[in-house]
């Protein structure tokens, strides 16, 4: 797990596509930067474009690939084209699939789990046995086109007092205005944001990125 040593929560800015947004995330103190490889997402990026952006990421900032039910052929091509530090599985992958991906690619794996009510939390215990990290997101509504990045939050009180034996990240409906409250209610030390720092669907806003990371208590770089 990245260690910036700079205090505050660790922030992941996901769905990056523009160099200016990537630069804003890094300079503001993001610990993770995420690239989306899911064709139906407005944040999808081609591997060649992601590779160019990844080359600009300094050491110590974790480069994450978000995939959705990708098969081995797709992951082979992706990992061969883009220098990555972590794979984020954001589909209906089973614990067995998570374990297989982790073994095949030798990269840390973060598994996203959608939560809407208390029974959904049980899956977190299963994935905690095979993943390197958990991402706790809002479960998408029935019929939603995207498994995440929908700007929806769940009842954060569901996570009060809950802990897992591995790092976990809170996602879903986070914005510069509510991130401090989300941390207060959940105790989250890692945060993932995508739509909450956009000026329009799929377009990251550098000012909102900076505001979000500052609200999470992370000091910006001085140079």
Residues classed as catalytic: 14, 137
DSSP 31: S
Residue 60 tokens read as 């110590």
- Quote the CA–CA distance of 136 and 114 in Å, as a whole number: 6
| Furthest-apart CA atoms within the chain: distance in Å | 46
Query: 106 and 84 in contact (C-beta within 8 Å)?
Result: no
3-state secondary structure 45-98: CCHHHHHHHHCCCCCCCEEEEEECCCCHHHHHHHHHHCCCCEEEECCCCCHHHH
- For Cα atoms 58, 198, 23, give the angle at the middle one, nearest 5 degrees: 20
In the chain, the N- to C-terminal Cα span, in Å, equals: 23
- Quote the CA–CA distance of 57 and 62 in Å, as a whole number: 8
Residue 122 tokens read as 């049980």
Query: 196 and 173 in contact (C-beta within 8 Å)?
Result: yes
In a 3-state reduction of DSSP, which class is residue 215?
A: helix
């Amino acid at each position: 797990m990245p260690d910036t040593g700079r205090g505050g929560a660790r922030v992941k800015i996901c769905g990056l596509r523009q160099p200016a947004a990537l630069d804003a995330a890094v300079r503001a103190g993001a610990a993770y930067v995420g690239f989306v490889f899911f064709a139906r997402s407005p944040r999808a990026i081609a591997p060649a474009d992601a590779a160019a952006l990844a080359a600009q990421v300094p050491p110590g900032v974790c480069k994450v690939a978000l995939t959705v039910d990708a098969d081995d052929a797709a992951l082979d091509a992706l990992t061969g084209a883009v220098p990555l530090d972590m794979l984020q599985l954001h589909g209906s992958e089973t614990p067995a699939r998570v374990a297989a991906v982790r073994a095949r690619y030798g990269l840390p794996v973060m598994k996203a789990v959608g939560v809407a009510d208390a029974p959904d939390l049980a899956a977190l215990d299963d994935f905690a046995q095979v993943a390197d990290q958990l991402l706790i997101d809002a479960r998408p509504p029935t019929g939603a086109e995207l498994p995440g990045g929908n700007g929806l939050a769940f009842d954060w009180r569901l996570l009060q007092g809950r802990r897992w034996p591995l790092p976990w990240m809170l996602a879903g409906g986070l914005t510069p205005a509510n991130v401090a409250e989300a941390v207060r209610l959940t105790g989250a030390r890692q945060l993932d944001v995508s739509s909450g720092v956009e000026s329009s669907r799929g377009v990251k806003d550098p000012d909102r990125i900076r505001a979000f990371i500052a609200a999470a208590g992370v000091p910006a770089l001085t140079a």
